[in-house]
């Protein structure tokens, strides 16, 4: 058994080929993360070099923390490896620093940018039930979860059911009636099921402050429902992470010329009209932010006052 465990990890420690761009994914699923990554990879590689090939490395587990640890500690620093992080990873990194499993400082990653600014979209609490009482919401990680924040800082009272590995598991749990709903996004649901808005009830939206999404003009935002000014400020920290909803990072401590090459390639590929059209075909509207804004969001997250972080935790 130990032999197979060693072989599994050895695969990630092998030197990357110079003409291969290795992209670390948290999971390989039929979701907007994986599908968009596979579309974007060819355009990204093309803007690095016409000879560059792409290989995907799947590092699952811990809500994206394992992938972040690998990029921070193990991944080559030569420009051959980048990763796509879940938006909550920086926030979890600062909320759970005492956890021995957090072995990265998100401020030190070389951020390339995010293909989607989720603040222009909306997070949603979506359910298959018209009743608020005893409503259960599936969760795939324990920290930086909007359901926890809503329960503690508004008058909404959902019950969180934790332990699911990823959003796909929660969606299946809804179909099996194990839980009533999920905290997700319009982007995620549109990729998963284009008719979602006809099949489910949206009870709250978040990620967009007090501005209601045009599709959900009759649905209140969490910011409208927070009980205190401190809670609303804490919510703004959480919602800023939505800008990183499809974020690309490179490992820390890389040569400046390699970082510049990757950032220039990200910028060029994200503006490629063919790529933008292909993204629309899977229900994703590209609205990129770039490395300077991504770094600014992460730095502000890490410098948030302790009392505000306690409201989020």
The answer on 296 and 274 residing in a single domain is: yes
Domain end: 240, 257, 291, which one? Answer: 240
Q: Please tell me the predicted confidence (pLDDT) of residue 112.
A: 98
Domain end: 240, 269, 294, which one? Answer: 240
Packing angle of the helix pair 273-281, 32-48 (nearest 10 deg): 170
The answer on 180 and 39 residing in a single domain is: no
Domain end: 180, 213, 240, which one? Answer: 240
Q: pTM for the complete prediction?
A: 0.81
Residue 196, domain CATH: 3.40.190.10
Per-residue pLDDT reduced to its tens digit, 141-179: 655 567 888 888 888 878 888 888 777 788 889 889 899
- According to DSSP, the residues that pair with 170 across neighbouring strands are none
The answer on 154 and 17 residing in a single domain is: no
Read off the tokens for 38.
Answer: 């596979």
Higher confidence at residue 128 or residue 73? 73
Q: What share of the chain is helix, strand, coil (3-state, %, to 5)?
A: 45, 15, 35
Query: Which ranges of 128-255 does DSSP label H, i.e. alpha helix?
Result: 146-153, 167-175, 186-192, 196-199, 222-225, 229-240
Per-residue pLDDT reduced to its tens digit, 198-222: 888 888 888 888 889 888 899 999 9
The answer on 236 and 128 residing in a single domain is: yes
Provide the CA 214 distance to its chain's centre, in angstroms. Answer: 23
Q: How many domains does the chain have?
A: 2
Per-residue pLDDT reduced to its tens digit, 285-300: 899 999 999 999 999 9
Q: Please tell me the predicted confidence (pLDDT) of residue 9.
A: 44
Q: Please tell me the predicted confidence (pLDDT) of residue 208.
A: 82
Q: How confident is the model at residue 187 (pLDDT cuts 50, 70, 90)?
A: confident
Provide the CA 167 distance to its chain's centre, in angstroms. Answer: 11
Q: Which residues contact 39 (CB under 8 A, 6 or more apart)?
A: 275, 278, 279, 282
Measured at the CA of 121, the angle between CA 119 and CA 127, to 5 degrees, comes to 120
- The Cα–Cα gap between 242 and 225 comes to 19
Per-residue pLDDT reduced to its tens digit, 123-132: 888 888 776 6
Per-residue pLDDT reduced to its tens digit, 83-124: 999 888 998 888 887 777 899 999 999 999 999 988 887 788
Q: Which residue has the tokens 């059911």?
A: 161
Per-residue pLDDT reduced to its tens digit, 268-284: 999 999 999 999 988 88
Q: Please tell me the predicted confidence (pLDDT) of residue 159.
A: 86
The answer on 112 and 16 residing in a single domain is: yes
- The Cα–Cα gap between 97 and 235 comes to 20
Report the number of secondary-structure helices (H) and strands (E) in the chain: 14, 11
DSSP string across 128-152? S-S--TT-EEE-S-SSS-HHHHHHH
Residue 72, domain CATH: 3.40.190.150
Q: Which residues contact 85 (CB under 8 A, 6 or more apart)?
A: 26, 64, 67, 68, 71, 244, 247, 249
Q: Please tell me the predicted confidence (pLDDT) of residue 12.
A: 45
Of the chain, the percentage scoring pLDDT greater than 70 comes to: 90
Task: Give the domain extent around 86.
Answer: 2-117+245-312
Per-residue pLDDT reduced to its tens digit, 219-256: 999 988 888 888 888 888 888 888 898 999 999 999 99
The answer on 256 and 199 residing in a single domain is: no
Q: Please tell me the predicted confidence (pLDDT) of residue 52.
A: 79
Higher confidence at residue 189 or residue 142? 189
The answer on 80 and 36 residing in a single domain is: yes
């Amino acid at each position: 058994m130990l032999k197979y465990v060693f072989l599994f990890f050895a695969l990630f420690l092998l030197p990357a080929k110079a003409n291969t761009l290795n992209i670390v994914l948290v999971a390989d699923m039929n979701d907007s993360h994986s599908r968009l990554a596979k579309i974007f990879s060819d355009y990204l590689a093309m803007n690095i070099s016409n000879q560059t090939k792409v290989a995907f490395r799947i590092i699952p587990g811990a809500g994206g923390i394992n992938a972040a640890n690998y990029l921070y500690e193990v991944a080559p620093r030569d420009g051959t490896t980048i990763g796509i992080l879940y938006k909550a990873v920086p926030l979890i990194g600062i909320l759970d620093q005492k956890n021995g499993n957090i072995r990265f400082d998100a401020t030190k990653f070389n951020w390339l940018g995010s293909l989607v600014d989720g603040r222009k979209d909306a997070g949603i609490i979506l359910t298959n039930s018209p009743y608020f009482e005893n409503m259960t919401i599936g969760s795939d990680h324990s920290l930086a979860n909007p359901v926890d924040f809503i329960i503690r800082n508004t008058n909404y009272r959902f019950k969180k059911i934790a332990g699911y590995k990823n959003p796909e598991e929660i969606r299946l749990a809804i179909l099996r009636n194990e839980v009533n709903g999920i905290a997700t996004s319009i982007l995620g649901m549109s990729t998963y099921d284009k008719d979602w808005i006809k099949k489910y009830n949206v009870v709250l939206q978040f990620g967009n402050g007090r501005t209601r999404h045009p599709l959900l003009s009759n649905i209140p935002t969490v910011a409208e429902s927070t009980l205190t000014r401190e809670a609303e400020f804490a919510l703004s920290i959480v919602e800023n992470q939505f800008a990183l909803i499809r974020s690309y990072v490179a490992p820390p401590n890389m040569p400046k010329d390699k970082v510049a090459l990757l950032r220039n390639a990200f910028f060029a590929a994200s503006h490629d009209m063919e790529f933008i059209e292909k993204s629309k075909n899977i229900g994703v509207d590209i609205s990129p932010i770039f490395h300077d804004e991504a770094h600014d969001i992460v730095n502000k997250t890490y410098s948030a006052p302790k009392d505000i972080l306690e409201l989020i935790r």
